[in-house]
Structure 1
Amino acid sequence: MDDRTQLPIVGMIGGGQLARMTHQAAIALGQSLRVLAASPDDSAAVVANDVRIGDHDDPTALAEFAAGCEVVTFDHEHVPQERIHELLRAGHVVRPGPEALRFAQDKLAMRRRLAELDLPMPRWAPVDGADDLTKFGLPCVVKTATGGYDGKGVFMVDDPARIAPMLADGVRLLAEERVPLVRELAVQIARSPSGETRVYPVVETVQRDGICTEVIAPAPDLSAERNAEAARIAERVAVELDVTGILAVELFDTGDRLLINELAMRPHNSGHWTIEGTVTSQFEQHLRAVLDYPLGEVAMTAPVVVMANVLGGEPGGPRLDERVQRLLADDPAARVHLYGKAVRPGRKIGHVTIAGDDVDGLRKRARHAAAVLRDGS
């Protein structure tokens, strides 16, 4: 508890843009967000008041960081299970807990558990050798069991020889069928320790080179039946895995059915649009959920909301400040969120959200906004 405010201190391990936007939500609630960042230059460390610098795999740094926090939560899934259990043994409250979080950390564990629950997903199999791929059927998708994000750790494989170096290095792999996609969807659900839940509108996500570039809310032309199915899947996963906080369920829409692709147990890129687009953003909702506060309303504030990620462009061109000014002159209704990150080509450095009622027009404006911020053009 913060003696100055008499309100909770929430500790978030990780100092990226998710922690930065969670910090913004905490301000309105009067809460204090403590951030464990790897560097003073991390996105959240640049703006938050209570920042500790340390490694998420350092037991001493974690113990000192957690002291005085009402609850500890995460900006990423990379904290080892052993370290989370050490925090629990020391009496700290950690949400989501390690038993739930491991299903977001380990894709093999996730697939096995979802199979036990008979939840829909692509055909898959563990890969211990090149022969396993031949038996599974090529071409296929090969994923590393741990550590992958934004397209990293995901490979389209036609030749079993391609995975030999990874197997030689001891990398744990799984194979998944190449699903015939109509599109990709995502649904977020918030769940509190007392069991209260709120399901956000289902969104369509647009990927390029494995990176989400655009989110459309609600997912266009999604039938009531499919919408209800997505909500049921999210609720079942959250309850059966005992998730607390925000859970994002990424889905493949094959036209005939929905299949679970990935899980994330933290605020997620597919929910950044909720800052302006819903009554309660995913960041505020995550704080409410991990503190076991009553959850907030998730109704949309406009008929349609489109979010475009801003990716770093090539060096040169106008200064970023000049690009922001140009965009705000071009489209005063655009809502800009920059993360304070060093610009590298292809790196997520921010996002833009635009709300209205015309899907095609909003998508065009959002893409223009992202292009202006990327390279000034």
Structure 2
Amino acid sequence: MIGGGQLARMAHDAGIPLGLRFKLLADTAQDSAAQVVSDVVLGDYRDLETLRAFARGCDVVTFDHEHVPTEHLRALQAEGIAVRPGPDALVNAQDKGVMRARLDSIGVPCPRHRIVSDPADVTAFAAEGKGSSSPEAGDAGGFPVVLKTVRGGYDGKGVWVVSSEAEAEAPFRAGVPVLAEEKVDFVRELAANVVRSPSGQAVAYPVVESVQKDGVCHEVTAPAPGLPADLAAEAQALALRIAGELGITGHLAVELFQTRDGRILVNELAMRPHNSGHWSIDGAVTSQFENHLRAVLDLPLGDPRPRAPWTVMVNVLGGDYPDMYAAFLHCMARDPGLRIHMYGKDVKPGRKVGHVTVFGDDLEDVRERARHAAAYLRGDITE
């Protein structure tokens, strides 16, 4: 696995019962996954020779992030190394402009969008209004407009919501292409998580509701409360179709907007285990991490069904409370049914350091318990 973050750490844990030998390319020995994996190579994932040396002897190479240069992955693949997902699929998660063009070509509903060249072009895009890019676009034109750098953004980074031409100047300073999208008037955000193997077997997890704060996933509820069965089925079918059309191997997260007129629009794609699927570690028969590993190795996929009617996952972001150990003990003692996952990271304000999960029959009870534990771990509450 290339990348040593918490996704690699949780994937390693899922691979132990499968008997996998796990090799990791990490930036530093203190990376989240490097603390628990025995076979760690330290190096720069942007260097082709480092990648070649690392991949030598591996049955398959996969990722915990999408930042490995596409041309390097193509070089590895040309040399007979199994790269999953492959570069032609992964580029759709690496480059938002490529993704939008590809989704348009296969008729996937997306917000109105186009690449813009400068702030004046953003104003022109805002004025174009509904329907000039896609007949399925969500809202009427005009400011505000969402601007995204086509590469490198995540967790709200590389994303701006601008209300005027003057505000649109910042994204262009990076010197990379900028994608403009309408700001969708949505009811809530959803995520459809699916897994696909090279042989074409695929499974779909329940569609979840995802709550974002400051561009970062804050809370996930599985399944999405009150989501009509036909719309849930439509979202799952759409995610499975995207996985097949793009030739994805492994886990695919399709982030969605549920619009006020009862439709769904695709917001983002992620081709790796995803924050919106963390609930599945404790709440599903087979976690997203185990199914991702099964898929990239072309093993039979596991059952994605939930263990209980409701599962709620809340992220723990660092605050001004650097020592979480006492809070960890308090939460464990207060609620023995709580599942706490810590990532081995130093606590810094706004940094993802862990998550908590609760599952059960009563949504309000499950939600309150998960929120309370996460708030206590963050230091937001003291009792």
TM class by shorter chain equals over 0.9
- 1:189 counterpart = 2:178: no
Output the CA distance in 1 between the equivalents of 2:309 and 2:144: 41
Task: Spell out, residue by residue over 1:260-293, the C-alpha distance to the aligned partner (whole angstroms, 9 max, x if none).
Answer: 0000000000000101111110000000000000
- 1:253 counterpart = 2:253: no
Q: SS in structure 2 opposite 1:164?
A: helix
Match of 1:130 in 2: 119
Shift of 1:371: 1.1
- Residue in structure 2 matching 1:239, options 237, 244, 253: 244
- 1:71 counterpart = 2:98: no
Shift of 1:83: 1.1
Kindly report which structure 2 residues correspond to 1:34-49, keeping only aligned pairs within 5 A, or say none: 34-49=23-38
Match of 2:96 in 1: 107
Output the CA distance in 2 between the equivalents of 1:260 and 1:86: 30
Kindly report which structure 2 residues correspond to 1:164-179, keeping only aligned pairs within 5 A, or say none: 164-179=169-184
- 1:286 counterpart = 2:286: no
Shift of 1:165: 4.4
Residue type of the alignment partner of 2:345: K
Match of 2:16 in 1: 27
Residue type of the alignment partner of 2:339: R
- 1:297 counterpart = 2:286: no
Output the CA distance in 1 between the equivalents of 2:269 and 2:283: 22
Shift of 1:59: 1.4
Shift of 1:358: 1.2
- Residue in structure 2 matching 1:212, options 217, 236, 257: 217
Residue type of the alignment partner of 1:52: V
- 1:54 counterpart = 2:43: yes
Shift of 1:315: 4.2
> Which range moved further: 75-84 or 122-131?
122-131
Q: SS in structure 2 opposite 1:126?
A: strand
Match of 1:9 in 2: none
Task: Mark the CA change 1:236 to 1:347 in structure 2 (over 3 Å): closer, same or farther.
Answer: same
Output the CA distance in 1 between the equivalents of 2:58 and 2:374: 37
Stretches of structure 2 lacking an aligned partner (at least 5 in a row)? 127-142
Match of 2:139 in 1: none
For normalisation by structure 2, the TM-score amounts to 0.93
Match of 2:334 in 1: 330
Output the CA distance in 1 between the equivalents of 2:166 and 2:91: 30
Task: Mark the CA change 1:105 to 1:278 in structure 2 (over 3 Å): closer, same or farther.
Answer: same
Output the CA distance in 2 between the equivalents of 1:80 and 1:277: 34
Shift of 1:242: 0.4
Q: SS in structure 2 opposite 1:231?
A: helix
Match of 1:120 in 2: 109
Residue type of the alignment partner of 1:298: P
Residue type of the alignment partner of 1:28: P
- 1:144 counterpart = 2:149: yes
Task: Spell out, residue by residue over 1:94-117, the C-alpha distance to the aligned partner (whole angstroms, 9 max, x if none).
Answer: 000000000000000000111111
- Residue in structure 1 matching 2:346, options 324, 342, 356: 342
Q: SS in structure 2 opposite 1:333?
A: coil
Match of 2:278 in 1: 272
Match of 2:312 in 1: 306
Task: Spell out, residue by residue over 1:172-209, the C-alpha distance to the aligned partner (whole angstroms, 9 max, x if none).
Answer: 10111111111000011100000000000000001111
Shift of 1:226: 0.4
Residue type of the alignment partner of 1:269: N
Output the CA distance in 2 between the equivalents of 1:282 and 1:102: 21
Q: SS in structure 1 opposite 2:67?
A: coil
Task: Spell out, residue by residue over 1:84-142, the C-alpha distance to the aligned partner (whole angstroms, 9 max, x if none).
Answer: 11211222100000000000000000001111111111111111122211111122111
Output the CA distance in 2 between the equivalents of 1:311 and 1:275: 19
Output the CA distance in 2 between the equivalents of 1:103 and 1:59: 21
For normalisation by structure 1, the TM-score amounts to 0.95
Stretches of structure 1 lacking an aligned partner (at least 5 in a row)? 1-11
Residue type of the alignment partner of 2:360: G
Q: SS in structure 2 opposite 1:28?
A: coil
CA RMSD of aligned residues (A): 1.1
Output the CA distance in 1 between the equivalents of 2:359 and 2:170: 47
Checking the alignment, whether the CA contact within 8 Å between 2:158 and 2:171 is kept in structure 1 is no
- Residue in structure 1 matching 2:366, options 328, 344, 362: 362
Q: How many residues align?
A: 364
State the 4+ residue runs in structure 1 displaced beyond 2 angstroms. Answer: 161-169
Match of 1:8 in 2: none
Output the CA distance in 2 between the equivalents of 1:141 and 1:352: 31
Residue type of the alignment partner of 2:71: E
Checking the alignment, whether the CA contact within 8 Å between 2:148 and 2:171 is kept in structure 1 is no
Output the CA distance in 2 between the equivalents of 1:362 and 1:285: 25
Task: Spell out, residue by residue over 1:56-94, the C-alpha distance to the aligned partner (whole angstroms, 9 max, x if none).
Answer: 111121111101110000100000011111211222100
Match of 1:7 in 2: none
Match of 1:351 in 2: 355
Task: Mark the CA change 1:280 to 1:169 in structure 2 (over 3 Å): closer, same or farther.
Answer: closer
